[in-house]
Amino acid sequence: MMTKKPALLTEEGLEKLQAELERLSTTGREDVADRLQRAFEDGQDDDFVDNAELEAARNAQSFLEGRIQEIEEILKNYQIIDDNGGPHDYVRVGDWVTISEVGYDEDEKYHLVGAAEADPTEGRISNESPLGEALLGAKVGDIVRIKAPRGITEFRVVSIG
């Protein structure tokens, strides 16, 4: 039997997932149940010929239950990213990393996290993403290369921490 590797989480990420699970399991389920009940009652007048709202409510319920199951699986097997705060000279999961694309002057700052809490729109990239993988183990001044749709893209590590 193959054991699934644990999801890497920050303390903050763990708290967010626990709160999301609580919210989805309580008010989320109640809201979907209300929506299903309303759609069911509205549909009785139409003999269920074409009840788009009932179908949408069922889809919402399916999505909600899928997300609950996904979070429960993560919480069964996770590992907190060790952030001992000590100085180190190479990129690890849990670090904030400032990089700049070679040939450009603009810096970008990312928090390298596990896949379960990655959100590029908030600057959190997964250690399993092409950029995240390339950054792991890199030192300040190193150039990392990733294969992008437009070809190989190079980034310089500006700072760690």
The verdict on 38 and 103 lying in the same domain is no
> Edge-to-edge strands of the sheet including 143-148?
124-126, 107-113, 96-101, 151-160, 143-148
Q: What is the pLDDT of residue 161?
A: 82
Reported pTM: 0.77
Q: Please count the other Cβ atoms lying within 10 Å of the Cβ belonging to residue 52.
A: 9
Q: Which of 131, 138, 128, 93 is nearest to 111 (CA)?
A: 93
Q: What is the pLDDT of residue 99?
A: 96
Q: What is the pLDDT of residue 52?
A: 84
In a domain, 86, yes or no: no
The verdict on 36 and 76 lying in the same domain is yes
The verdict on 39 and 63 lying in the same domain is yes
In a domain, 147, yes or no: yes
Rg (CA), the chain: 22
In a domain, 90, yes or no: no
The verdict on 70 and 18 lying in the same domain is yes
Residue 17 pLDDT level (bands cut at 50, 70, 90): very high
In a domain, 87, yes or no: no
Domain boundary among 80, 106, 130: 80
Domain boundary among 48, 80, 112: 80
Residue 46 pLDDT level (bands cut at 50, 70, 90): low
The verdict on 74 and 108 lying in the same domain is no
- Provide mean pLDDT across the span 98-127: 93
Q: What is the pLDDT of residue 54?
A: 87
